[in-house]
Amino acid sequence: MNLLTEFKDLLIETLKDNKKLIIGLYLLFIICFVAAWFLSGSGVESAIGNLTSSNPNDSNIGEIGVVDIFIQNEWGGIVTYITSIFFAIPAIIALLYNGINLGATGQLFNHVIPNGGLRYIIYLIPHGIFEITATVLQSVAGVLLFLFVWRFIKAWRSSQTHGTSDAFNQTKKILIQSIVLMIFATILLIIAAPIETYLSVPFSSLIVRT
């Protein structure tokens, strides 16, 4: 119980300390999603021929296992996190890619299915609350990892610190916060996977009928 309490306290502190970064990257994701939705209208025409028979009711989402969905999302987040030591570029690219990809997919459904755009949004809501938040937090964690590396090197080279241990002690809080966010993102992805597998498609079909 003490471990859970300690993690909860660390998480709350981390979210507060990085509130502006989290909100900023969340807004960036939303902007990319909306922009891709409205700007990809003409671009999806070439793909419609391959998806004319597509329908959320016929989607193979439900055939993909919960574990498969979780592993795919978690592995992508881990790769993004680790590679973000390179100036946090992968963290930003991953966020841009996810926002653009989801927005363009919504426009595609909007073209090939009656009420497709609305159904796609409703499909995203149940698991997207958790999955998209996890994606944003993974990118934030990647940015923090880069900041840790940058500040650690800067502190290590400073004449005001005394060796590697001292430099690490001065900067380890950022590393800890990045790890806390990755753990929290993993928890969110664990919640999102079964919802996406079993609930999202039936929920969208129930709310909006073709």
d(CA 148, CA 132): 24
Angle formed at CA 127 by CA 130 and CA 91, multiple of 5 degrees: 50
What is the H or E stretch that residue 152 is in?
helix 116-157
Q: Is residue 62 part of a domain?
A: no
Angle formed at CA 204 by CA 137 and CA 133, multiple of 5 degrees: 5
pLDDT value at residue 113: 81
Q: What is the pLDDT along the chain (210 residues), one digit of tens a residue?
A: 588 899 999 999 999 999 999 999 999 999 999 999 988 866 665 655 554 444 544 444 445 789 999 999 999 999 999 999 999 999 999 999 999 999 999 888 888 888 888 999 999 999 999 999 999 999 999 999 999 999 999 999 988 888 899 999 999 999 999 999 999 999 999 999 999 999 998 988 888 875
**Coil, strand or helix at 194:** helix
pTM, rounded to two decimals: 0.88
Listed residue (180, 206, 197, 159) closest to 73, CA to CA: 197
**Which domain range does residue 184 map to?**
10-38+71-207
Q: Determine how many CB atoms are found less than 10 A away from the CB of residue 96.
A: 16
Q: Is residue 99 part of a domain?
A: yes
Q: Is residue 77 part of a domain?
A: yes
Q: Are 185 and 141 in contact (CB under 8 A)?
A: yes
pLDDT value at residue 61: 45
Q: Is residue 30 part of a domain?
A: yes
Collect all residues with Cβ–Cβ distance below 8 Å to 73 and sequence separation of at least 6: 131, 134, 135, 189, 192, 193
Q: Is residue 82 part of a domain?
A: yes
pLDDT value at residue 115: 84
Q: Are 120 and 61 in contact (CB under 8 A)?
A: no
| Count of domains observed in the chain | 1
What do you get for the CA distance between the two ends of the chain, in Å? 49
pLDDT value at residue 210: 53
Listed residue (110, 92, 89) closest to 29, CA to CA: 92
Q: Is residue 44 part of a domain?
A: no
Q: Is residue 32 part of a domain?
A: yes
